[in-house]
Structure 1
Amino acid sequence: MANWIGWAASSVVFGGVLIQLTLGTLYSFGNMDPYITSYLLEKFPDRNIRYSDTAWVFSAATIGIGSMVVLAGAIYDRFGPRITVFLGCLILCGGTTITYITVQRSLPFVVLTYGLMFGLGVGISYAVPMSCAMKWIPDRKGLACGLSVAGFGGGAFIFDYVQTWYINPQNEPPPYFIHGQYYFTQRAILSKVPLVFIVLGGCYFGLQALGILLLRDPPKNRVVDVQEDVDEEETSLTSEGELTSNTSHGHDGHEQYVSWKHSWRTKDFWLLWFTLLFNTVGLVFFSTFWKAYGQTFIHDDHFLAVVGSFASIFNAGGRIWWGYFGDKLSFKIAMMSLCAVFTVLMATYKLTELAGKPLFFIYVCLTFGTFSGNFSLFPSVTVQTFGQRYFIQNYGLLFTSQVAMSLIIAVIAPYMQDFIAWYGLFLLATGCSFTSFLLTLALKQQRPFN
């Protein structure tokens, strides 16, 4: 019996990793951005499209994710994990493939298909493999999340190579320089930009199909056996916003939980929400612009693709490491450590211009390995704080902080880049990460549910 449970848990985690590999190509946008922006600038020269304009693609994807995670919980409750993920993956693959057409029309259409549709697909699919993994490995929720979303972090490892070697196999540098930024103009490179979206869509479909077949929840008795031996409790709130519990019996077995209708009214929810909000500044900024920044002093496209691929390994490994770290100590200690490291990295990033390729490689890898911890620590603390029953909905509510900040960054990015330049953007991320450190300091050390 134990062997069967171990094999089943491993297969579910592996299926989740395959799915997350495709969802995680969200982080390959930083590698694709120079190609997409250069293509649009060449095709529509009168529109003067810049990197700050195409930042809307990544922001729209983040908005799509945050707007769908809560709804994904309802779909999951009604239809189960496989149908939920299938629906999300269908939207994601469709948006990616249709971008072959939209990138030849205008930037707003690209924002719709490669941004919003991609994000909607991720939003529906993203939390389901994590939920399944935590149900199969309930005593190591942080590690379970880290293993599940390691694929999300590692997706760019594969697809940065696919994108760059398909579009720019000869490693030609971008020759056009304007407003402190480099752009590609070579026809041989730009002509492949639309076609790469068909290639990506086909690759995603194959990986997702296998992953969905392996994904499933454990049997009901398996869930009950590993839950706390108490009656199911739905927590309510006092007038001061403190948590209190009233015992009731439910169809999910014996467990404690806080409904998503109540969780957002607690102090801890808003401390977590704002912590993720301010961490999103550096996350969105860096995920979108790391390659565009590197091109200002590194004229080697293949090297930058290698940087992005190795960074994705750190992105994947960081999710496992930070999840394990949070399990061994606590969310509070792990998140304060994460914020401290990220603050130092952002504050000293300009040193990479002086040292060149080696230090840039190290900094990009460390940056991805650091901010990736948000995506294993926040899911696990969501379960620890509000219980497993409404995990997807409660995590979706927390994720709305990323929606808010991504929208703000997309709106003000053109003005920020003009007035504060690269160093100012790094300092902004530094200040926001330090603010998250202070917010985490105010959290309670002990969580209501374990």
Structure 2
Amino acid sequence: MNSSTQGSDLTLFGLPAERGRWFLIPLGMLVLLCLGTVYSWSIFRRPLEAELNLTATQSLLPYMIALLCYAITMPIAGFYITRMGTRLMTAIGAIVVGIGYSLASFADGIGVMVLGYGVIAGIGVGITYGIPMAVAARWFPDKKGLAVGLTIVGFGLSPLVTAPLAKGLIDTYGVQRSLLILGVTFTLIILAISTTMTLPPTCWIPSPTARGQQKRSLPVSYPDKMLKSPSFYGLWMCYTIGTFVGLSAIGISSPVGEELIAIDSAMAATSVSIFALFNGVSRPLFGWLCDRLQPRYVAIASYTLILIGCILMLNAGEGQVATYIVAFSLFWFSLGGWLALAPTATLRLFNPDDYAQNYGIVFTAYGVGALLGTLVAGQLRDWFGSYVYAFYPMGGLAIVGIILATFMLKRDRPKLLVSE
């Protein structure tokens, strides 16, 4: 990649920067596709239970710890991206992911598996996750939402690619050797792409139109003031609700289909693949909408879809397969949307130059939502004997989210903004 700091002379991949920048999106998608294998953990669970003599609860621990470490690490990594550079941080994340997978491949018990896959690989994902989005956001100041939404599609659609890949490897080589193969492969792919993960010069703007848009929307310097902003707390709470509901739904998709709708396990697995498509498609769509509408309106639309899904499931019964598919497609669609809406709202509401740090802080909401969302739905099932009771709090939270988005998910008063 050749570059120059002189606006029109800047090139990417041998092309003028305004054209070459589009190659960064599929490259970022590929990085996130590798990292998104964490969502395919269910493929590894049963083979690990057999090989390591684990209980169902034990086999879930690496996944839960990976999500937690990923969510904790990302805000920390955000503060080092501008200091160490996007290329070096991406390379470090790739190596850490590879070490985690490799260690897990030699595990002889749940402790080493949790340490390797859960802690180390989870940290690697947290280090790397935000970088492709930060790069896309900086290269596309005129299309922030669309660029971020397209880039993050890789993470959402990862199970469609990596789950069948992992299944084939496990059938051929066994689960632990498959972890080693995947870890080495992901490390090499991300290391190669890391050389392209660069930010544009601060003076670079793609066009006069984009220059005008950027100047009008630029808030004051954050994150020092972001934590004092009501907008931050509105976004954080809305994001927590969106991920809580979405990850609750993801965690119970198959068992709800089998227990409440009485579909067989093969049909339940096929349904999850359909849901994953909706999860991926919603990301560029929500990003595109956030470029054109205020984030609060997009958030309200997301919560409305969640509420519709809850109402459908509260009235569903055995044999109502269409109702089940529509409802859970809405849940997965909304979760994917939030993973594009939240970073785009961070760009819209706060200084985009501080995006890596800002979104790292905002992303802690995902960690809270992930931790609670993977636990609460199952706990309600144990308490009341049916998954149907999970849809009452999910619907109630959607209503709370609509209220919060209406009154808190908006830019602060003009005194916090740069004068136009």
Normalised TM-score (structure 2): 0.83
Match of 1:115 in 2: 118
Distance 1:436 1:97, change over 3 A: farther
Counterpart contact for 1:15–1:212, Cα < 8 Å: no
After superposition, the C-alpha distances for 1:176-222 in whole angstroms (9 at most, x for unaligned) are xxxxxxxxxxxxxxx93333322332442343234323322123331
Helix, strand or coil: the match of 1:221? coil
Distance 1:400 1:230, change over 3 A: closer
Match of 1:128 in 2: 131
1:200 paired with 2:182, answer yes
Match of 2:96 in 1: 91
Match of 1:316 in 2: 280
Counterpart contact for 2:136–2:147, Cα < 8 Å: yes
Match of 1:389 in 2: 353
Query: Which whole-Å CA distance do the structure 1 matches of 2:296 and 2:46 have between them?
Result: 40
Name the aligned partner's letter for residue 376 of structure 1: A
CA drift at 1:137: 1.1
1:50 paired with 2:56, answer yes
Name the aligned partner's letter for residue 94 of structure 2: C
Aligned residue pairs total 398
Query: Which whole-Å CA distance do the structure 1 matches of 2:120 and 2:268 have between them?
Result: 27
1:160 paired with 2:169, answer no
Query: Which whole-Å CA distance do the structure 1 matches of 2:218 and 2:291 have between them?
Result: 20
Name the aligned partner's letter for residue 207 of structure 1: I
Superposition RMSD in Å: 3.3
Match of 2:306 in 1: 342
Task: Within 5 Å, give how 1:145-156 maps onto structure 2.
Answer: 145-156=148-159
Query: Which whole-Å CA distance do the structure 1 matches of 2:211 and 2:75 have between them?
Result: 24
| Mean CA deviation greater in 431-440 or 220-229 | 220-229
Counterpart contact for 2:101–2:116, Cα < 8 Å: yes
Helix, strand or coil: the match of 2:195? helix
1:75 paired with 2:75, answer no
Query: Which whole-Å CA distance do the structure 2 matches of 1:231 and 1:142 have between them?
Result: 17
Match of 1:9 in 2: 21
Helix, strand or coil: the match of 1:220? coil
Match of 2:5 in 1: none
Query: Which whole-Å CA distance do the structure 2 matches of 1:116 and 1:437 have between them?
Result: 35
Counterpart contact for 2:142–2:213, Cα < 8 Å: no
1:427 paired with 2:392, answer yes
1:36 paired with 2:39, answer no
1:20 paired with 2:53, answer no
Distance 1:306 1:7, change over 3 A: farther
CA drift at 1:295: 5.0
Match of 2:230 in 1: 267
Helix, strand or coil: the match of 1:69? helix
CA drift at 1:440: 0.6
After superposition, the C-alpha distances for 1:384-441 in whole angstroms (9 at most, x for unaligned) are 1111121111111111122234344566666433103412223332222322222111
Distance 1:200 1:305, change over 3 A: farther
Query: Which whole-Å CA distance do the structure 2 matches of 1:390 and 1:93 have between them?
Result: 29
1:402 to 335, 342, 366: 366
Distance 1:304 1:118, change over 3 A: farther
The structure, 1 or 2, with the larger RCO (C-alpha pairs under 8 Å, 6+ apart) is 1
Distance 1:408 1:358, change over 3 A: closer
Query: Which whole-Å CA distance do the structure 2 matches of 1:66 and 1:343 have between them?
Result: 26
After superposition, the C-alpha distances for 1:9-45 in whole angstroms (9 at most, x for unaligned) are 111112111111112223223x43xx51564377436
Distance 1:200 1:362, change over 3 A: farther
Name the aligned partner's letter for residue 151 of structure 2: S
Identity %: 20
Distance 1:299 1:162, change over 3 A: farther
| Mean CA deviation greater in 325-334 or 287-296 | 287-296
Query: Which whole-Å CA distance do the structure 2 matches of 1:322 and 1:132 have between them?
Result: 19
Query: Which whole-Å CA distance do the structure 2 matches of 1:381 and 1:115 have between them?
Result: 29
Helix, strand or coil: the match of 1:373? helix
Q: Structure 2: where are the runs of 5+ without partners? A: 1-7, 10-14
Match of 1:188 in 2: none
After superposition, the C-alpha distances for 1:258-317 in whole angstroms (9 at most, x for unaligned) are 32222112111111111112222222223334234445444444x555444443332221
CA drift at 1:229: 9.6
Helix, strand or coil: the match of 1:258? coil
Match of 1:280 in 2: 243
Distance 1:122 1:415, change over 3 A: same
Helix, strand or coil: the match of 2:395? helix
Distance 1:293 1:204, change over 3 A: farther
| Mean CA deviation greater in 313-322 or 440-449 | 440-449
Query: Which whole-Å CA distance do the structure 2 matches of 1:275 and 1:309 have between them?
Result: 27
1:290 paired with 2:288, answer no
| Mean CA deviation greater in 357-366 or 276-285 | 357-366
Helix, strand or coil: the match of 1:208? helix
Task: Within 5 Å, give how 1:112-261 maps onto structure 2.
Answer: 112-167=115-170, 192-223=174-205, 227=211, 256-261=219-224
After superposition, the C-alpha distances for 1:71-130 in whole angstroms (9 at most, x for unaligned) are 22232112211111111122223222322233x402x44333322323212211111111
Task: Within 5 Å, give how 1:297-308 maps onto structure 2.
Answer: 297-301=262-266, 303-308=267-272
Q: Structure 1: where are the runs of 5+ without partners? A: 170-190, 233-253
Distance 1:93 1:364, change over 3 A: farther
Query: Which whole-Å CA distance do the structure 1 matches of 2:409 and 2:314 have between them?
Result: 36
Counterpart contact for 1:146–1:322, Cα < 8 Å: yes
